[in-house]
Amino acid sequence: MSTEALPQLTAKDFASDQEIRWCPGCGDYAILAQVKKIMPDLGIPREKIVFVSGIGCSSRFPYYMNTYGFHTIHGRAPALATGVKVANPELTVFVVTGDGDGLSIGGNHLIHAIRRNLDVNILLFNNRIYGLTKGQYSPTSELGKKTKSTPMGSVDNPLHPLSIAIGAEASFVARTVDRNVQHMAAMIKRAAEHRGTAFIEIYQNCNIFNDGAFLFATEKEQKDDTTLYLEHGKPMIFGKDGDKGIRLNGLEPEIVSLKDGNMKEDDLLFHDEKLGEPSLAYLLSRMRYPEFPEPMGVLRCVDQPLFEQGVHKQINDAVKAKGPGKLEDILLEGDTWDV
Amino acid sequence: MSTEALPQLTAKDFASDQEIRWCPGCGDYAILAQVKKIMPDLGIPREKIVFVSGIGCSSRFPYYMNTYGFHTIHGRAPALATGVKVANPELTVFVVTGDGDGLSIGGNHLIHAIRRNLDVNILLFNNRIYGLTKGQYSPTSELGKKTKSTPMGSVDNPLHPLSIAIGAEASFVARTVDRNVQHMAAMIKRAAEHRGTAFIEIYQNCNIFNDGAFLFATEKEQKDDTTLYLEHGKPMIFGKDGDKGIRLNGLEPEIVSLKDGNMKEDDLLFHDEKLGEPSLAYLLSRMRYPEFPEPMGVLRCVDQPLFEQGVHKQINDAVKAKGPGKLEDILLEGDTWDV
Amino acid sequence: MTTQTKTAKGVEQRTDVTIRFAGDSGDGMQLTGTQFTRTSAIFGNDISTFPDFPAEIRAPAGTLAGVSGFQVHFGSEELHTPGDEVDTLVAFNPAALKKNIEDVVKGGLVIVNEDSFGKTDLKKAGFESNPLEDDSLSQYRLIKIPATKLTKEALKDSPLGTKAVDRCKNFFALGLVSWLYGRPLEPVVEWIERKFGKNPDVANANRDVLRVGHAYGETCEYFENTYQVNKAKLTPGKYRRISGNDATALGFIFGARLAEKDLFYGSYPITPASDVLHALSRYKHFRVKTFQAEDEIAAICSSIGASFAGDLATTGTSGPGLALKGEALGLAVMTELPLVVLNVQRGGPSTGLPTKTEQADLFQAMYGRNGECPLVVIAACSPSDCFATAIEACRITLEHMTPVVLLTDGFIANGEEPWAIPDVSQMKKIDVKYAEGVNSNGNGEGGFLPYKRDDRLVRPWAIPGTAGLQHRIGGLEKQDITGNVNYEPANHQHMIDTRAKKVALIADNIPEQAVEGPDEGDLLVVGWGGTYGALKSACDRVRSQGKKVAHCHIRYLNPFPKNLGDVLKRYKKVLVAELNCGQLRFILRATYLVDAAALNKVQGKPFLISEVENKINELLAK
Amino acid sequence: MTTQTKTAKGVEQRTDVTIRFAGDSGDGMQLTGTQFTRTSAIFGNDISTFPDFPAEIRAPAGTLAGVSGFQVHFGSEELHTPGDEVDTLVAFNPAALKKNIEDVVKGGLVIVNEDSFGKTDLKKAGFESNPLEDDSLSQYRLIKIPATKLTKEALKDSPLGTKAVDRCKNFFALGLVSWLYGRPLEPVVEWIERKFGKNPDVANANRDVLRVGHAYGETCEYFENTYQVNKAKLTPGKYRRISGNDATALGFIFGARLAEKDLFYGSYPITPASDVLHALSRYKHFRVKTFQAEDEIAAICSSIGASFAGDLATTGTSGPGLALKGEALGLAVMTELPLVVLNVQRGGPSTGLPTKTEQADLFQAMYGRNGECPLVVIAACSPSDCFATAIEACRITLEHMTPVVLLTDGFIANGEEPWAIPDVSQMKKIDVKYAEGVNSNGNGEGGFLPYKRDDRLVRPWAIPGTAGLQHRIGGLEKQDITGNVNYEPANHQHMIDTRAKKVALIADNIPEQAVEGPDEGDLLVVGWGGTYGALKSACDRVRSQGKKVAHCHIRYLNPFPKNLGDVLKRYKKVLVAELNCGQLRFILRATYLVDAAALNKVQGKPFLISEVENKINELLAK
Ligand SMILES: Cc1ncc(C[n+]2csc(CCOP(=O)(O)OP(=O)(O)O)c2C)c(N)n1
Ligand SMILES: Cc1ncc(C[n+]2csc(CCOP(=O)(O)OP(=O)(O)O)c2C)c(N)n1
Ligand code: SF4
Ligand code: SF4
Ligand SMILES: [Mg+2]
Ligand SMILES: [Mg+2]
């Protein structure tokens, strides 16, 4: 790694020359803008960054970044990223995927990347619909959803991205929403800084096929009452006037009012990203609108061994123990004889 | 369904004429024996039972049952079973899979079957190794495991079957072990009785490639201290003399002694399979030997809508609303004109 | 446009006309095209259409990538293609003009919405100067209409907002073109009322604009004359329009009914096959079970499971999805279960050109699996033919207990044509033979033998739920008759041979290969799938010029009809024309050692009749 | 066994001998066979082996399904197959006898462990009467040895338990057979000491039993004579034994080193390819990164990612796994990245016969993807040839930026032969051309053009981490030169043609097709892959009888060598012999319109020399 001072880059330097081809009004634009914006802050030269994606509207993302990029095939981005990262751990790798790409066809690669704790950042654009194929329901679509493929409503119980990620041993799990650009930027930055697989679910509005899916979390009038912005070490408080909190009743979270003074901050659940066991993160992942405010922010962030580091450590250990392999030597392994 | 009294069948009636081809001493034998044993109790005629499996030693299972059976391809049993069950919800379907078949190549189908809550019973034989391909590590092998493909030890953080199932919205999750035949029989029966996807992890010894993986849970001298047999509504007590219990400290379980009288049963965590939210089940799924006794039994068992029922309800509703479709009618849909 | 006669009063008579509506994805061109097609069909023309979507949902407005087109060919004679050259182009913006002008016949009409030719619009489309003002369009009859402005004016009293008003301008174009070709407005008005019934403001606006467009034609004096395309002399009967994907869906439903089975369709959305899933999911009252699986592998596996459990199982996808289904398709071959696999071909390789047409999956259908893994492959040749071919796929799979790959392509899947509605009472039932009981000879002890075959080598189908027939199947090699796992060398050879023979024997149960044209001659033009119309039309043309050219359209690609080898030998030359690099040609060469010539095109577009005609003439001249 | 001369003192001279060791999976037959092979190789014979495993890990003891066999062919002349007929069968139980006796030459030696022919043993194997007592073996020279009893006696003082003692009996057999064929015991003793060094009780027991077996031969008077097979006249040099899978693994390591790259091998275990993963995972000090992926799709995708990131990327599997890789292989073709895909073929279709050999994946390798998707296919012909062919695959993929499918099969993957250790200093470096910088002409603004090709149509490889060369690739059709997504018809045609041409041009960079035997003549025997030895031997034999027969072994299956068409034309007849239903023959017929005859066998087993010889004679007689 060079020690020269890097030229000061701006968001613009991270824009490729390709025309952006999302529908006007699509939430993807906001995400792209924030990703470009935080890039200079990471202090990583463009050539050391790789964006890998699958197939879907969201997966067009790499084309718009002036970094190395790979628009792969449907669902396989995490697998491909694993190869990139094992081949060269020095690269900073982002995986961009959708709720269909990442959780339908690609669910298995996603959970395996997560459990291996590869040092990649996975941005899952959850619009609860298949955008690119023009509007079928996805594994995150709510039960009863009417779409082109479910004219009488879907009968599949949906998956919850954060729960499945936590079930797959995730070391970093966060959630944000396209319309809250500052928070989104902060989350993506936190993800990039995390060593290990950072999984972020980004609520993303598809204004063509599933418009308004996340209005509850973005509309001024209600969002403070329907979302809970997590802060490490802080009590879980939400509501327009910070007048509500989350308390634990046994293993069940409950909403309490801070207004009447019966309840103090200290009675509330305090957030702790760093817990060794992910039970709190899991519990948070179950809190859902309208019963609960939906948690936004980092649910979990712990240090765990990195997969690619393990691979390279073994290589280095082997080289140390046996010396760098000599071709002549392996030819002579086992019994040899002369004729 | 006929109302005639069924002939009284025995375990033997469920044995096929095929020679069993597992290694002598393999834990699979015990599982087969228990499955055959509980079959008559289910009161389902043999022809209404289908065993579906993938590929692996465990997946040979269907050949040995005198029921309908399908030994499919690697990892795909849950997907195939979905078709069986949607086509004919009256069939009782068992899926037999291994830790490789079900969680490596087949992980995605597994989680999707679980989240859809199809009424099938999934028996995952977890021997923490690839048996049939002669001894590579699996996604449930412990970190650092030395196998044919990992001579310096594995560097992949393993998946935990119960956690991932719970992360995937499972309605029934249980664990048992090949050597505890009564418990195993009880669990399989509970699974069969559950309406919805019943997921059971069965600790299974592969005496050829991973012998003794579950000794902690089967050896007389220690098993009482290293396993926690769950009972619905009962406090979590374990230990040779029932002298230890599990208490909740915030969100962390801890082991307490019941011996000195400081702690009473009522202070302990009480098991509840039926909780609406799976946070307790998840927390239990994290308790692992040697830090904790490993929970055995039903972690979670709740009623949720069945996928295939949803499918068939829509069909019936549509027939009710529109009448049974007439071929002539669909030909005439849209504009027609006469020439 | 083949023939034209001018009548009095400025009405020109045409046998057929090709119009292309093109504009930005948001301009409603697909709708305009569909409505015009509908009216023409109801009017009594023969029609053929070709919608051409951009790959993006909505690429940036005004760009070339965002152009959406819809071509309709209508005529008073039988039509088999959506037309080689465009007689009238309706271009809603500069990008649409740029992308489509090359296809317009010299002297053809080019109608543009001049309001969308502002500076930025031109720049987005990459024009240096305004083509409406320089002389770059001098070879065409250019008609500039201020569609945006006139629409706004027409709706100045409408309660609709600016955006909604602007969205009505496609109805202006539709009105104008309807006037130009003498089409009645009623069917459109009726449709508007049905569609926007709940939203009377929108309905009124669209209807008003439609009428204004029509009136504008009358009054504007831009047009020398209008055109008349008489009713076509189609076989009498009841007709409707149908697209290939809809026809396939209906064919599956019919297949199931004719076999008295429930239909199962397991699929994962993929362009251009998704519409089959959409269509089928609307027919639940026909006991159609659609399953949107988590991926293509789950889709086919669920279908195999449904087949095992006794449904008529089908699965559908496009190229990359078929690649994913290869392993499971092998399982279906090994377990000898009925299964129809629909592949709506699109441009490849890899993700390729997802919204474009191609015929490059024949090899994959034939060979895309491990081991010797023969199955049936058949292909539909036109939108309406998808119906009959889908039924045929169901028939073969059920009668022969073998998977069938049904090939269509993006061109016929999305294209529409009139369809003489078939008579249900004339349709032949599909005869499904189920295992009737324990079939072991002599002692009943032997139990049920799932691989005991009949004289067509078909094994019995025993459906879970049937008492006494419990049996186990799977992907390992099995002993013939018993179906037990078996690793013996001689048995393997026997089973390999038997599976191949079973498929080969299906040739006894399909029609012999027919040709259109002379029974022998100078050239045989061979094709398959969606190129039928272009090849047929080209052959008709050269034959009408007295040439000894026949057309051989192969519907059954595996096994081939028994007489195909003989047919190929009866002509001096053979030409195989395909939208790929020569896959059928390769198979014919290998099978019959015929030195066939090739016409190949891999451009995401169908053949033009003229391309085929030129190649024919070139070969005849040699 | 070709020639035999009796010398004095009861020592019979043989040019070559085939022994098969067969017993229950638990009997240690693989080990016995391997040790005998090792000794023979060290002694100086040429050798060829054929292990034959049951599909089960350990099927029930004593059953036919549980029989494990190991055949070794050793000789004083060059050998190319593990032998047609068995001269000596060592059968450790009735099932092993039953399953293998048919392959023994009439008059051959059959050595059985008579202690394992009890009633239940016989029943498990399905014998009605004891073959050692009825006259069913009268055509063979039957030698009954009480191996179990003698082993027990020999070890009566050993501290080992009964089970462990019993497990030593295979060393008794090894000792006996070593005596019979005059093999030294030292190499085995040495091996025992190395292997069981930490467990001296076991080491002692095995060594003792080995010696007792040897002594038993001397004293038992069962044998008329012993046999002598002289050293082979091999090219002088240093030799070792090698199996195909090990050779492939070494080839990959060499490929990477010769190109100065790290090696990445992404794989998912599958029989019979898993051993390549096992072998490579032991070479981490060569900077080999092995990745056991969650499935085959992840395996190939991780490899594509590693290739993108600059490693020499390889992935390996067997038939069903290759089916799963099809879609991703298309991505590699589209993105024009280097990638070697190893396919160790096994019996199909579907799960098929997982432990048996076959050559039925040629079609799949060539065509198992959506769209027009050409890539390079090459095949190795023997265990040691896997080394050179793997290097060649690495060379082509790196020099031409195109995926290469490397085909081997279960037979050569598990079989062993002596290998003249190559001279590293003589090996040619692989010349990898990296993008050197921004390659747009004129102004640097244009940036890096990832699809700007050289005269071989190869695009530049720009590796992430290289400043200024940031670019994006993917599976959508791309514009030539820029690599930007592009849907234009003409560009698609151009890219389809270019990808095909790029692969075709590789014919300029591979050797011309050679033949063994006359340059023209009556018959050309064509083959590919692991049948090389049998075909070569058969051709040698008929040529030695004066027949004008040549052998054409095709290593480069796509593209074919440039002169192949000419070669085929120089013979009156062409025979294509394959372990499938005629896949190469089909491709040759289509490509060259050659009316080739076929010899096909699909039995999970390699050709016998005699089968090929008979077919040759049949064709010559016609
Ligand atoms: C193998 C394969 N199957 C199916 C498709 C079709 N396909 C493309 S994107 C997509 C789903 C997109 O949904 P999502 O991942 O949620 O992305 P979005 O478009 O909503 O951003 C599908 C089914 C494909 N390209 N490849
Ligand atoms: C597509 C495919 N890939 C790989 C294999 C090889 N294979 C067969 S079983 C197996 C893993 C078995 O492990 P597990 O599921 O744990 O079953 P076990 O044998 O341990 O019971 C593998 C990798 C296969 N048969 N098919
Ligand atoms: S379809 Fe939806 S997700 Fe896709 S670009 Fe349009 S608005 Fe965005
Ligand atoms: S290998 Fe292991 S899991 Fe397989 S049959 Fe043998 S003991 Fe059982
Ligand atoms: Mg989406
Ligand atoms: Mg296992």
What pLDDT digit, counting tens, does each position of D134-184 carry?
989 999 999 999 999 999 999 999 999 998 999 999 999 999 999 999 999
Distance from CA of C272 to the nearest CA of A (A): 9
**Contact C421/B81, CB-based, under 8 Å?**
no
Three-state DSSP class for residue A126 = strand
pLDDT bin (cut points 50, 70, 90) of residue A234 is very high
Q: H helices within A200-250, ranges in order?
A: 215-218, 220-226
My answer on whether D29 and D146 are in the same domain is yes
| D54, D350, D595 ranked by CB distance to C475: nearest | D350
Residues of B in contact with D274 (CB under 8 A): 133-134, 136, 148-149
Strands D339-345 and D312-317, by their bridges, are parallel
Using CA atoms of B131, B136, B138, B142 in order, give the dihedral in degrees to the nearest 10: 110
**Number of CB pairs < 8 Å for C and D?**
221
Q: A313 to chain D: nearest residue by CA? A: D284
Give the contacts of C224 (CB within 8 A, at least 6 positions apart).
C10
pLDDT bin (cut points 50, 70, 90) of residue D71 is very high
Strands C104-113 and C86-91, by their bridges, are parallel
User: A153, D270, C301, A102: which is closest to B109 by C-alpha?
Assistant: C301
Q: C350 to chain A: nearest residue by CA? A: A73
Write down the architecture of domain A11-234+271-308 according to CATH. Answer: 3-Layer(aba) Sandwich (3.40)
Q: What pLDDT is recorded for position C144?
A: 93
Q: What is the mean pLDDT of residues C327-337?
A: 98
Residue C29's region, left for phi above 0, alpha for psi from -120 to 50, else beta, is: alpha
Say what percent of chain C tops pLDDT 70. Answer: 98
Which domain-ending residue is among D374, D405, D426? D426
Lowest mean pLDDT, pick from B105-119, C28-42, D390-404: C28-42
- Indicate whether C235 belongs to any domain: no
My answer on whether C122 and C192 are in the same domain is yes
Which domain-ending residue is among C477, C510, C543? C510
**Mutation site, B320, B331, B332, B333, interface C, largest C CB count within 10 A:** B331
Closest Cα to atom 6 of ligand 3: A23
My answer on whether C459 and C422 are in the same domain is no
User: D356, D313, D350: which is closest to D331 by C-alpha?
Assistant: D313
Distance from CA of B24 to the nearest CA of A (A): 33
Q: What pLDDT is recorded for position D234?
A: 86
Q: Which two tokens stand for residue D38?
A: 């090792």
DSSP state of C94: H
Q: H helices within D102-161, ranges in order?
A: 119-124, 147-154
Residues of B in contact with D296 (CB under 8 A): 105
Q: What is the mean pLDDT of residues B190-197?
A: 98
Which phi and psi angles does C401 have, rounded to 5°?
50, 55
pLDDT bin (cut points 50, 70, 90) of residue C222 is confident
- Apex CA C274: angle with CA C392 and CA C272, to 5°? 85
Write the pLDDT tens digit of every residue in B283-328.
Answer: 999 999 999 999 999 999 999 999 999 999 999 999 999 999 999 9
Residue C56 has pLDDT above 90, yes or no: no
Q: What pLDDT is recorded for position A260?
A: 85
Q: Is B196 in the pocket of ligand 2 (CB under 6 A)?
A: no
CATH code, D329: 3.40.50.970
pLDDT bin (cut points 50, 70, 90) of residue B2 is very low
Q: What is the mean pLDDT of residues D461-473?
A: 96
Cα Rg for chain D, rounded, in angstroms? Answer: 27
- Indicate whether D103 belongs to any domain: yes
Which phi and psi angles does A258 have, rounded to 5°?
-100, 0
Q: H helices within D221-295, ranges in order?
A: 244-258, 274-280
B124 in Cβ contact with B202 (< 8 Å): yes
Query: How far apart (Å, rounded) are the C-alpha atoms in residues A58 and A128?
Result: 12
Q: Could you give the residue range(s) of every CATH 3.40.50.970 domain in chain B?
A: 11-234+271-308
Q: What pLDDT is recorded for position D4?
A: 44
Distance from CA of D196 to the nearest CA of A (A): 16
Residue D552 has pLDDT above 80, yes or no: yes
Give the contacts of B301 (CB within 8 A, at least 6 positions apart).
B171, B172, B173, B174, B190, B194, B232, B273, B274
Say what percent of chain A tops pLDDT 70. Answer: 98
Residue D62's region, left for phi above 0, alpha for psi from -120 to 50, else beta, is: left
Write the pLDDT tens digit of every residue in D32-46.
Answer: 999 999 999 989 999
My answer on whether D163 and D37 are in the same domain is yes
My answer on whether D157 and D302 are in the same domain is no
Hey, which residues 490-549 in chain D have their CB within 8 Å of chain A?
A: none
User: A328, A314, A301: which is closest to A232 by C-alpha?
Assistant: A301
My answer on whether C410 and C473 are in the same domain is no
Residues of A in contact with C59 (CB under 8 A): 19, 21
| A105, A136, A149 ranked by CB distance to C294: nearest | A105
Ligand 2 atom nearest residue B209's Cα? 20
pLDDT bin (cut points 50, 70, 90) of residue D458 is very high
- Indicate whether C233 belongs to any domain: no
My answer on whether C275 and C159 are in the same domain is no
Residue C165 has pLDDT above 70, yes or no: yes
Q: What is the mean pLDDT of residues D509-528?
A: 98
Q: What is the mean pLDDT of residues D343-369?
A: 97
Q: What is the mean pLDDT of residues C81-103?
A: 95
Query: How far apart (Å, rounded) are the C-alpha atoms in residues D88 and D101?
Result: 10
- Indicate whether C234 belongs to any domain: no
Residue B6 has pLDDT above 70, yes or no: no
Query: How far apart (Å, rounded) are the C-alpha atoms in residues C526 and C576?
Result: 5
Mean model confidence pLDDT for chain D: 94
E strand or H helix at B294 = strand B294-301
Tell me, what's the ipTM? Answer: 0.96
Residue C291 has pLDDT above 80, yes or no: yes
Residue D445 has pLDDT above 70, yes or no: no
My answer on whether C188 and C171 are in the same domain is yes
Q: What pLDDT is recorded for position C447?
A: 84
Stronger pLDDT, C552 or A260, i.e. the higher one: C552
pLDDT bin (cut points 50, 70, 90) of residue A4 is low
Q: What pLDDT is recorded for position D1?
A: 41
Q: What pLDDT is recorded for position C10?
A: 79
| B115, B143, B165 ranked by CB distance to A157: nearest | B115
Q: What pLDDT is recorded for position A2?
A: 46
My answer on whether C500 and C570 are in the same domain is no
- With contact defined as 3+ CB pairs under 8 Å, the chains touching D are A, B, C
DSSP per-residue codes, C572-584: EEEEEEESSSSHH
Output b/e per residue, A170-195; b: 16+ Cβ within 10 A.
bbbbbbbbbbbeebbbbbbbbbbebe
Q: What pLDDT is recorded for position D61?
A: 84
Residue B138 has pLDDT above 80, yes or no: yes
CATH code, C547: 3.40.50.920
Ligand 6 centroid to Cα of residue B138, in Å, is 7
Which phi and psi angles does D504 have, rounded to 5°?
-60, -35
Query: How far apart (Å, rounded) are the C-alpha atoms in residues C548 and C449?
Result: 55
Say what percent of chain D tops pLDDT 90. Answer: 88
Strands B92-98 and D571-578, by their bridges, are unpaired
**Contact D371/C351, CB-based, under 8 Å?**
no
Domain count of the fold of chain D: 4
Boundaries of domain holding D257: 240-426
Q: What pLDDT is recorded for position C57?
A: 72
My answer on whether D107 and D253 are in the same domain is no
Q: What is the mean pLDDT of residues C470-494?
A: 96
Q: What is the mean pLDDT of residues B220-236?
A: 96
Residue B150 contacts D where some CB pair is shorter than 8 Å: yes
pLDDT bin (cut points 50, 70, 90) of residue C6 is very low
Pocket-forming residues, ligand 1, beta carbon under 6 Å: A 55-58, 74, 98-101, 125, 127, 129-133, 138; C 268-270, 296, 320-321, 324, 351
Using CA atoms of D314, D318, D319, D320 in order, give the dihedral in degrees to the nearest 10: -90
Stronger pLDDT, C446 or B131, i.e. the higher one: B131
Give the contacts of D322 (CB within 8 A, at least 6 positions apart).
C370, D296, D341, D343, D361, D364, D365, D368, D405
Query: How far apart (Å, rounded) are the C-alpha atoms in residues C372 and C203?
Result: 59
My answer on whether D164 and D220 are in the same domain is yes
Q: What pLDDT is recorded for position D442?
A: 55
Query: How far apart (Å, rounded) are the C-alpha atoms in residues C576 and C79?
Result: 22
Q: What pLDDT is recorded for position C609?
A: 96
User: B47, B52, B74: which is closest to B63 by C-alpha?
Assistant: B52
Three-state DSSP class for residue C213 = helix
Among C42-51, D51-60, D404-413, name the most confident range: D404-413
Ligand 3 centroid to Cα of residue A211, in Å, is 10
Q: What pLDDT is recorded for position B4?
A: 56
Residue A235 has pLDDT above 80, yes or no: yes
- Indicate whether C419 belongs to any domain: yes
Residue D2 has pLDDT above 60, yes or no: no
D281 in Cβ contact with D245 (< 8 Å): no
Full-model pTM: 0.95
Q: What is the mean pLDDT of residues D328-340?
A: 98
User: B166, B233, B169, B235: which is closest to B201 by C-alpha?
Assistant: B166
Pocket-forming residues, ligand 4, beta carbon under 6 Å: B 22-23, 26, 28, 57, 127, 131, 206-209; D 57-58
Query: How far apart (Å, rounded) are the C-alpha atoms in residues C242 and C249?
Result: 11
Q: What pLDDT is recorded for position D622?
A: 86
A127 in Cβ contact with A206 (< 8 Å): yes
Mean model confidence pLDDT for chain C: 94
Output b/e per residue, B232-246; b: 16+ Cβ within 10 A.
eeebbbbbeeeebbb
Residue C397 has pLDDT above 50, yes or no: yes
Q: C65 to chain A: nearest residue by CA? A: A21
Residue C9 has pLDDT above 60, yes or no: no
Write the pLDDT tens digit of every residue in D226-248.
Answer: 899 999 988 899 999 999 999 99
CATH code, D162: 3.40.920.10
Distance from CA of A168 to the nearest CA of B (A): 6
Hey, which residues 64-83 in chain C have their CB within 8 Å of chain D?
A: 65
Q: What pLDDT is recorded for position D9?
A: 55
Hey, which residues 132-191 in chain D have their CB within 8 Å of chain C?
A: none
Stronger pLDDT, C65 or B234, i.e. the higher one: B234
Residue A159 contacts C where some CB pair is shorter than 8 Å: no
Q: Is B225 in the pocket of ligand 2 (CB under 6 A)?
A: no
DSSP state of A265: G
Q: What pLDDT is recorded for position D443?
A: 52
- Indicate whether D597 belongs to any domain: yes
| C41, C235, C424 ranked by CB distance to B328: nearest | C424
My answer on whether D552 and D500 are in the same domain is no
Residue D5 has pLDDT above 80, yes or no: no
Residue D516 has pLDDT above 90, yes or no: yes
